[in-house]
């Protein structure tokens, strides 16, 4: 079934069929030479091309592309498919998934990854294929003695994997399945900013140019006491050395009043 360039699709049309729909309404019709609901899946031998060449072989598709493709045997008397392509090969990953329609098992879905080069030293790429075949397709193919054709048609969904982080030093096209926990990074950054803001509020409280210790207590001042007392040493009242910060900004406090409160209420411990 060749794709018709004259096919008229409704505005906003998107092709997102389920696994069951691909098997029942498209692959089954293709193998029985019946028309599909919409003629947008071309017939292409995908193993004669590399995956990045396939999007130009169809007139429909943006992030994923569908093809009807034949499969050949790897060995004349075997049932293993030949997965070799132009500059690499497709390698199966995971286990086959049975596709059901109601209570009936109608097909099988297999996931494959494309590798550049030749096995076993191929370089993994981010090209993925989902291959759909009918449940009884291999039974029919075993009857053809001497033929290299394993399946007349399988349905292939090709797409390029997104959202995986490329690690430094990896070959071009290689994608490691590593997910970055951005939530944890954002949370840590927010906590750090909150801590910095609290510290600034504690150490840069706007105070009058002159005030008393009673004023500080009424304002619930939470800054370090050392910032107020650093200009003088309480253990040596004769020492009246000023620090370079200018007495905690422009704050000036009566020294005798601090000594009186210290002796009477024992509010500060040094």
Eight-state DSSP code of residue 23: I
The β-bridge relationship of strands 104-116 and 64-72 is unpaired
Same domain? 140 vs 236 = no
pLDDT tens for each residue of 8-52: 778 888 899 999 999 999 999 999 999 999 989 999 999 999 999
Cα atoms in the 13 Å half-sphere on the side-chain side of 182: 3
Percent of the chain with pLDDT over 70: 54
Residue 198 within a domain: no
Same domain? 151 vs 239 = no
pLDDT tens for each residue of 217-227: 555 555 555 55
Q: Which helix (H) or strand (E) holds 28?
A: helix 28-31
User: What does the pLDDT read at residue 11?
Assistant: 84
pLDDT tens for each residue of 74-109: 998 888 999 999 999 999 999 999 999 999 999 999
Domain that holds residue 234: 204-265
Q: The domain that contains 154 carries what CATH number? A: 2.170.150.80
Question: Which of 163, 135, 159, 139 is CA-nearest to residue 150?
Answer: 139
Residue 23 within a domain: yes
Same domain? 118 vs 246 = no
Residue 191 within a domain: no
Residue 11 within a domain: no
For 113, 203, 232, 243, the CA distances from 246, given in Å and listed in that order, are: 69, 14, 12, 6
- How many CB atoms lie under 10 A from the CB of residue 223? 16
Residue 61 within a domain: yes
């Amino acid at each position: 079934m060749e794709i018709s360039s004259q096919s008229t699709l409704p505005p906003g049309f998107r092709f997102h069929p389920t696994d069951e729909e691909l098997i029942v309404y498209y692959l089954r019709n293709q193998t029985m030479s019946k028309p599909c609901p919409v003629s947008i899946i071309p017939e292409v031998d995908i193993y004669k091309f590399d995956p990045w060449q396939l999007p130009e072989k169809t007139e429909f598709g943006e992030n994923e592309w569908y093809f009807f493709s034949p499969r050949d045997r790897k060995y004349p008397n075997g049932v293993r498919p030949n997965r070799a392509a132009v500059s690499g090969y497709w390698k199966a990953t995971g286990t086959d998934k049975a596709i059901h329609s109601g209570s009936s098992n109608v097909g099988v879905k297999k996931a494959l990854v494309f590798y550049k080069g030749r096995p076993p030293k191929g370089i993994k790429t981010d090209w993925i294929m989902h291959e759909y075949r009918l449940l009884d397709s291999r039974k029919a193919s075993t009857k053809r003695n001497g033929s290299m054709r394993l399946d007349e048609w399988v349905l292939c969904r090709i797409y390029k994997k997104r959202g995986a982080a490329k690690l430094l030093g990896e070959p071009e096209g290689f994608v490691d399945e590593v997910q970055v926990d951005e939530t944890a990074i954002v949370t840590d950054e927010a906590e750090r900013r909150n801590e910095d803001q609290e510290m600034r509020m504690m150490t840069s409280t706007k105070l009058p140019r002159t005030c008393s210790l009673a004023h500080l207590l009424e304002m619930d001042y939470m800054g370090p006491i050392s910032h107020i007392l650093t200009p003088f040493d309480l253990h040596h009242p004769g020492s009246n050395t000023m620090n370079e910060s200018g007495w905690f900004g422009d704050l000036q406090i009566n020294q005798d009043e601090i000594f009186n409160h210290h002796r009477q209420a024992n509010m500060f411990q040094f």
